[in-house]
Amino acid sequence: MRVLGVDPGLTRCGLGVVDALPARRAALVAVGVARSSSTDDLDLRLLAIFEQIEEWLDRHAPDVVAVERYFASDSVSTVIGTAQVAGVAMLAAARRKIPVALHTPSEVKAAVTGSGRADKTQVQRMVAQILGLAELPRPADAADALALAVCHLWRPAGALASPQRPVQSMTAAQRAWAAAEHAARRPTRG
């Protein structure tokens, strides 16, 4: 399986392609950042990101696109821009009939590091270790895109325990990921 991870951002959108290997290993195919100019109008910025994502889809032919599902931020404009770029990525995948999976930041961190509260540096280090990279992937947007792709590859079937996959057979990182996903799906009280 080949996964394109997309860490949406209006100025820098992280892109990372990872292939699944036997024995729960993964291989780096490509990593980079789609960019748009902050001096352009919003419609042109979205178009620029869309065209770059389309190039990646054409060049790397992923089986699935994993996009970060954003919950909240202190900055409303950041959330809106991130959501718009996530929509652009999903649209580009849908045009090619490529399935899209959404993963929260805590799910991704838990899948890659074993902790849903890991910081950016911990995620970068684990991504480098998982993919056998000599250096940390940079910028952080690119590392996050790779983490999204790895998260999707390692996503436990059904996420939570099932008769086919009891909790005991999950790794610590998978259990942490499943708990983060379960927490993210709980309705919030307001």
User: Per the annotation, where are the binding residues for Mg(2+)?
Assistant: 7, 68, 141
Give me the catalytic one of 7, 54, 144, 181. 7
Residue (of 156, 155, 149, 152) closest to 18 by Cα position: 149
Give me the catalytic one of 40, 43, 58, 68. 68
Give me the catalytic one of 54, 141, 144, 181. 141
Would you say 98 and 3 are in contact if contact means Cβ atoms under 8 Å apart? no
CA distance 148 to 69: 10
Q: Which helix (H) or strand (E) holds 1?
A: none
Largest CA distance in the chain: 54
Under the phi-then-psi rule, with left for phi > 0, alpha for psi from -120 to 50, and beta for the rest, what region is 159? Answer: left
Q: Is 141 a catalytic residue?
A: yes
Q: Is 68 a catalytic residue?
A: yes
Feature table: binding site: 7, 68, 141
CA distance 14 to 116: 20
Q: Is 54 a catalytic residue?
A: no
Catalytic residues: 7, 68, 141
